[in-house]
Amino acid sequence: MEFTPKLKEEIIDKHLSPLKEAVEIVKQDLI
């Protein structure tokens, strides 16, 4: 399996999306 930059980006996005959503929810709770 080749680890192309694009593939790496997709993997990072997949892991960061839920994290970003959680951060947004926490931000809304704090405001």
pLDDT at 30: 84
Domain definitions of the chain by residue range: 1-30
Q: For 6-31, what is each residue's pLDDT tens digit? A: 988 998 899 999 999 999 999 998 87
Burial (CB < 10 A; 0-12, 13-18, 19+), residue 5, is: exposed
Rounded Cα gap, residues 3 and 26, in angstroms: 33
Residue 1 banded pLDDT, cuts 50, 70, 90: low
Of 13 and 3, the structure prediction assigns the larger pLDDT to 13
Report the pLDDT value the prediction gives residue 4, as an integer from 0 to 100. Answer: 83
Q: What's the pTM value of the predicted model, to 2 decimals?
A: 0.48
Q: Residue 2: pLDDT band by 50, 70, 90 thresholds? A: confident
The dihedral formed by the CA atoms of 13, 19, 22 and 24, expressed in degrees to the nearest 10: -60
